[in-house]
Amino acid sequence: MNVVKPSAIRELLRLGADPQLISFGGGYPDPAYFPRKELAQAYEDVLADPSSSALQYTTSTGLESLRAQIAARMQRDGVPCTTRNVLVVQGAQQGLDLISKLLVNPSDLIVTENPTFLGALIAFNPCQPRYAVAPMEEEGVDTARLESILASDRGAKLIYLIPDFQNPTGVTMSVERRRAVIDLANRHNVVVVEDTPYRDIRFSGESLPTLKSLDTEERVVHIGSFSKILAPGLRLGWIVASEPLIEKLGLLKLAADTQCSTLNMAAVSKLLETFDLDKHVAMIASHYRGKKELMLDTIRRTFPADVAYTNPNGGLFTWLSFSERFDTARFMQERALPEAKVAYVPGATFFPVDQQTNHARVSFATQPDDAIVRGITALGRVLRDETLRSR
């Protein structure tokens, strides 16, 4: 495997460290809402117990108690599920890595939303797949386009989707389209990978059924994560899938890194015994909703009228779309960074096939309120000036 490319995400992780800059770039959750004290108590409890095996090796599929808690949580979300359907992974990213390793051979086709999560492409690329894409619309991915891709290319191995508050667009897939996805996956014998890092962070509207809950032929592989609802520094996520798939993925996990941190699994398992995660998530969601409203209000007040933006019902991101000839990467380099001291993620890298240059991903999650207003206002000013110049 020799496919190693410099990564835009990585560059942004570096940029994010510059205190001068107001970065709307990273996919970071707000550290103010990590349950730091409760986690400290959980680590203390787990490490105080001399008979605890939290510092020892454990099974590669993950700590039994945590797997059971994840299975129970999935059940409450409408997914029939036992401990044996759960594999604990090193964040959702490792889920994507293991699944593609298992299912994708060089030249196989992966079908994604257009645009899609860059980190998924980074996980998939070492398998040397081909990509086909179906555009994101208001109701989610264009299922008619998905269908025509699957009908015309027999090499499709998996469809990768983020149904809730998609990264990067913030769009949520309608129930009708969720059903359509399951139907066409069944008919075309394809695995569906459902990635749900933002699912619980809903601002408004009813929760929609997961693809996994609609799955009739055990062909949905569901990925979840504690990164956005507890803390990403724990590196804990999960895969829920059929027992035979979990068995195989567990062996790949063993080969890749033996297991997740026993201590982190034990501490999170301890935390979940008493901590009201749903209440915590509702608090986070309410906080992010406020930040989103503030950002969209500021965009409305300060951006040129022809800049389109999505109004997500949850998650961390809004997606900006500019006129077709606008280049968000060049604009960031030449004007947004030096003049507005603002960073976002230029959209091109989120497109697996056609690197469209006229979009940007903006996160409303991590900057304090005053920085959101200051940064978006400064960006709006430079954007208006750019519009004037280009006339």
Q: Which residues bind its own copies (CB under 8 A)?
A: 1-2, 4-7, 9-10, 13-14, 26, 28, 31, 34, 36-37, 39-40, 43-44, 47-48, 50, 53-60, 89-91, 93-94, 97, 101-102, 104-105, 119, 122-123, 125-127, 231-235, 248, 251-252, 254-264, 266
Phi, psi values for residue 363, rounded to 5°: -95, 135
CB 224 within 8 A of CB 70: yes
CB of 350 to its own copies, least distance (A): 16
The helix/strand/coil state of 308 is strand
CB of 354 to its own copies, least distance (A): 22
**What are the structure tokens assigned to 142, written together?**
């264009």
Q: Are strands 109-114 and 220-225 parallel, antiparallel or unpaired?
A: unpaired
CB of 291 to its own copies, least distance (A): 17
Give the residue with the Cβ less far from its own copies, 13 or 296. Answer: 13
CB of 382 to its own copies, least distance (A): 28
CB of 91 to its own copies, least distance (A): 6
Give the residue with the Cβ less far from its own copies, 32 or 151. Answer: 32
Q: Tell me how crowded residue 293 is: count the other CB atoms within 10 A of its CB.
A: 13
Separation of alpha carbons 192 and 213, rounded Å: 12
Give the residue with the Cβ less far from its own copies, 50 or 205. Answer: 50
The residue among 303, 296, 300 whose CA lies nearest residue 384 is 303
Give the residue with the Cβ less far from its own copies, 94 or 321. Answer: 94
CB of 233 to its own copies, least distance (A): 3
Give the residue with the Cβ less far from its own copies, 55 or 308. Answer: 55
**What are the structure tokens assigned to 3, written together?**
């496919």
Q: What proportions of the chain, in percent to the nearest 5, are helix, strand and coil?
A: 50, 15, 35
Q: Tell me how crowded residue 355 is: count the other CB atoms within 10 A of its CB.
A: 13
Give the residue with the Cβ less far from its own copies, 1 or 388. Answer: 1
